[in-house]
Amino acid sequence: MKDRQFGRLRFVCGENRGKYPYNHSLYIESKEARVIIDPACSLEKLSRLRDKEGVDMVWLSHWHEDHFHYVYLFGDSPLWISERDFPPLTDMEIFLDWYGVWDERGRDYWKQVMRDVFNFQPKHKARFIRDEEEIDLGQVKIQVIATPGHTPGHLSFFFPTEELLFLGDYDLTSFGPWYGDVASSIDETIKSIRRLKEIPAKKWIACHEDGLFEENPGKLWDNYENIIYERERKILEFLKKPHTLEEISAAWLIYGKPRKPLEFFEFNERVLVNKHLERLEKRGQIVRDKDQYRKV
């Protein structure tokens, strides 16, 4: 996978195909401003970009660590982000609260990871990008697309002249959407996927794995959304007999099998399962009796 230039936009591919803890970034080079979106692709590439071509602003599609990984490289460059997604960047404790990491052992683990791997540094100010805002950088124009669900303030960016759509973390991977945070929403995720599908783009950039699509992703849109329903099908099948959240999580219905580090993947499995249980209970497809769930 190689970096690609589209006029004044550059797809900067991430290490290891943009898999966590990396992503694919987008660089905008305009006379009025040079912007890096989601700077987490590569320490080497971003350092070179900063030193040789320059970065005036850093934009984030959302607040997750695999998107701000190398923000610290850009010092005092203004940070742009949705106001809804800014709070977890201001304080480590808020950050962990937003992920729903409540136990002391888990918080200690993630604090170390955030400091040692992601160089977390609290931010105290940002320029808030408004939903549906039209940003004019002179030679480059951008339409902001509000795409909540993955996070409350997740943003995608459409470049009408280049007919290019930056999807952020609606990444069309075979794993499927993430909506495990405290403020994430499965229903909003579905709406955002369907909205992005209708944007009249001819090129699409996602933050992970394949990353760049120069032909309409086509079936990938439906496949990506259908993973949500397949997860629910598996959970409902499992709940023909009553089970607790812990028992459902231990069945690895989301990831398919145990993965390491367990501190990371056990947590992810649990929070995704819990989001589905909440949705299925609300829809009347399951009922909860004390600490057990069963299919209606």
Structure pTM?
A: 0.96
Write down the pLDDT at residue 191. 98
How do 203-206 and 212-213 pair as beta strands? antiparallel
Q: Helix 262-282 and helix 186-198: axis angle, to 10°?
A: 90
The sign of the CA dihedral 274, 275, 281, 282 is positive
Rounded to an integer, the average pLDDT of 151-176 is 98
Place of tokens 């397949």: 230
pLDDT value at residue 180: 97
**Where do the domains of the chain lie, and which CATH numbers do they carry?**
4-217 (3.60.15.10), 230-295 (1.10.10)
Q: Taking Cα atoms as reference points, which of 106, 68, 69, 73 lies closest to residue 85?
A: 68
pLDDT digits (tens, 9 = 90+) for 57-74: 999 999 999 999 999 999
pLDDT in tens, 176-228: 999 999 999 999 999 999 999 999 999 999 999 999 999 999 999 999 999 99
Task: Give the model's pLDDT for residue 22.
Answer: 97
**pLDDT score, position 263:** 84
Average pLDDT over residues 169-176: 97
Short-list 133, 123, 132, 137, CA closest to 85? 123
